[in-house]
A and B are shown apart, each in its own frame.
Chain A
């Protein structure tokens, strides 16, 4: 063996040591890299799953809330419709009692009798039970019938106003006569004039009479088949004369009306809406076939064959529960939300296939998985590069062994450790984590990739609500309450193309959140037009419901005053009724007025609302005198309201608004104010058309608020009296 000199020995020693060190260090690094790869690989799977679970949870919660809100809203709408039927019947019962007990105030009136005449649709009539026909009515009874016939207009107005909802309204006396109006065509015989009923019908045998006789409050009957074979139900309440019980006033309500409401509030063709009756029967549905469609009133969803989960939910619905459930039907998963309609013991449900519901979430998940895949590919490439680099590096280092130092080792392993920590943080769900590596090499690039992924995931999570909302059919349904608010208002202009006495225009711009502003206008008879503007004191779905009921009640009570023209009584009745159904302590400020287009007389009640403005002739606008102020509606029953009257001349105009106008704020929170409104109005020439006036006011408000977000509903209505 050749002897080595000390230098060679030393070099060999250093080389061997270096080699050993490098081998050791290399193996260490490689195992590090391997660990990192494994860690990222494993964790990305975990992360994917977690992300999936979070997305699923989020969407489920979001969808659950949305479906629940929808079902509550629609059940609420239905309940309010039913309540308004009840309140109208109560009103008629009170009026009947008043007629019977103060006969001196009423003139006798003679209606056609369906027993003796061929009565056709379009008019109220009277009918005698066989017993009365046989014995004849004596003078006293005839006088009573002529007296009670004063209710005919109320009965008729009731029925023709809700032609889809109420096929007929009737007053059945304990003495065997009935006063009735049917919603049928003018050329058709009314049912009680047809041979099937003409000589056999006795109101006192009818289910509604028996149900109503027992009750001083309006009650609903079960659903039954009407004489025309369509499913319907009745609402009935007793009325009294001086001796006590005198008869029952009631109406039939066609299920078609409920179906209409289902359609009106349904904004997606993928969701199923249905009303379940007190006996588990599907009463109304937007489906035309299958288990969830209307079959007949004797079917029972609680006994649905082969669908035990659906049957269990039907059971809960019949019990009057409110809830949300995910269940399987026909092998497919569905989400269902249901709410009771207490008035009738029914339940409203809305359901949608889970796949449809989850589609946006699945898409988001796919995107994040793709992102993760991309990151992994990039990671693999980088690690490969790193291995190549380190092999070259080790080779180089072997030639200059003294360079080996702790610093290199540290530089080498630190980025890997950092990356590993970062990945661990992220897999815990902490998407804020970003990795700071500035080595200028593949590690920095890797870290950057990693940070991009983390950021993207974070953005996905944050935007998921928006992603969900923007996708597919769900978008429309989210706005159901806004749509209802909007659809409730008359929005075809000009509203009365044949009436040349008035020029009327109105707008309502809802704020982002559903509000409770509304306006309304209608003729209550040939000469009298009502204008109303109102503001409910809250936002969201409850306010939207309160708005619906306020508007309906006001209109219904005002329509009943078409003859007597008692504005005060109508508003007082509406207030009493509103207080009854006001669980949320809401209130509504209302300005409502009736203009007689023949005389120009304008009577109004201002119930806590902003005073409107009026312009006489060429003068400027000024605030309407409100000497007699009245409180808002819905707070306290039994309070009185004060009516005021002014006289309008041809060319005069009235401008109504809600506080969203005067309180419209710019970015610095400066309000438009009453003065701003008045000034802007007074820049308008007197001959301006209603529509143009409103458009100019919208512009004036827009110029004031500039880019600031609208915080409240903005509602305006203007009426010009043309004479």
Chain B
């Protein structure tokens, strides 16, 4: 991946959830690849949570990726959620009222 330094992933399991940890920036540069990878994750797992604790920046292109995945999850009958947003990312999600479209948990602990 060309943008490895801008956005990095880590994976883990938590209860029944596949937790996808995003580190770095989710924007126009990193968004398309992240969208593809997220789609794959949703194809292979029934519950995907995106951990945003180490995401430092999200742009509208990033929001679009999240919305796409949320829509896909809904269409496929899968669970999709965001968790642990902080700082600027938390503000942006709130500003955009993203909770209308996707479940947002304050921490990973709330994933049950």
Contacts and interface: CB of A to CB of B under 8 A. Distances in A.
Interface of A: 535, 537-539, 585-587, 589, 608-611, 626, 629-632, 635-636, 639, 659, 663
Interface in B72-112: 94-98, 100-101
B61 A631 contact: no
Nearest to A640: B100
B71 interface: yes
Contact of B100 (A586, A589, A631, A663): A631
Interface residues of B, number: 16
Interface stretch (B14-22, B36-44, B62-70): B62-70
Given A537-B60, A659-B59, A659-B60, A629 B95 contact: yes
Contacts of A659: 59-60
A609 B95 CA distance: 7
Given A587-B67, A639-B100, A629 B94 contact: yes
A537 B63 contact: yes
B64 A538 contact: yes
B96 A608 contact: yes
Contact of A585 (B60, B67, B94, B100): B67
Given A585-B71, A659-B59, A663-B59, A631 B98 contact: yes
Contacts of A631: 96-98, 100-101
Contacts of B63: 537, 587, 632
Contacts of A635: 67, 100-101
18 contacts: A537-B60, A537-B64, A539-B28, A585-B67, A586-B64, A587-B63, A587-B64, A609-B95, A610-B95, A626-B95, A629-B94, A629-B97, A631-B96, A631-B101, A635-B67, A636-B101, A639-B100, A659-B60
Of listed B60, B61, B63, B71, residue having the most chain A CB within 10 A: B60
A218 B51 CA distance: 45
Given A538-B64, A586-B64, A587-B67, A632 B96 contact: yes
Contacts of B28: 539
Contact of B60 (A589, A636, A639): A589
A719 to B, nearest CB: 21
Contact of A608 (B59, B71, B95): B95
Contacts of B67: 585, 587, 635
Interface string B33-61: 00000000000000000000000000111
B61 A608 contact: no
Contacts of A539: 28
Nearest to B72: A585
A636 B59 contact: no
Contacts of B71: 585
Closest 8 CB pairs of A and B: A631-B97, A608-B96, A631-B100, A537-B60, A537-B64, A629-B97, A585-B68, A635-B101
Contact of B97 (A538, A610, A630): A630
A639 B96 CA distance: 14
B20 to A, nearest CB: 20
Nearest to A630: B97
Nearest to A641: B97
A635 to B, nearest CB: 6
Contacts of A535: 60
Nearest to B64: A537
A251 B64 CA distance: 37
A535 B60 CA distance: 9
B9 to A, nearest CB: 22
A585 B94 CA distance: 20
Contact of B64 (A585, A610, A626): A585
B61 A537 contact: yes
Contacts of B59: 659, 663
A631 B71 CA distance: 15
A95 to B, nearest CB: 27
B68 A608 contact: no
Nearest to A642: B97
Of listed B28, B71, B95, residue having the most chain A CB within 10 A: B95
Contacts of A608: 95-97
B76 to A, nearest CB: 15
A538 B101 contact: no
Given A537-B60, A629-B96, 14 more contacts: A535-B60, A585-B64, A585-B68, A589-B96, A610-B95, A611-B95, A626-B95, A629-B94, A631-B96, A631-B100, A632-B63, A632-B97, A635-B100, A635-B101
A538 B61 contact: yes
A408 to B, nearest CB: 54
B37 to A, nearest CB: 17
A654 to B, nearest CB: 18
A633 to B, nearest CB: 11
A538 B68 CA distance: 13
Nearest to A629: B97
A179 to B, nearest CB: 39
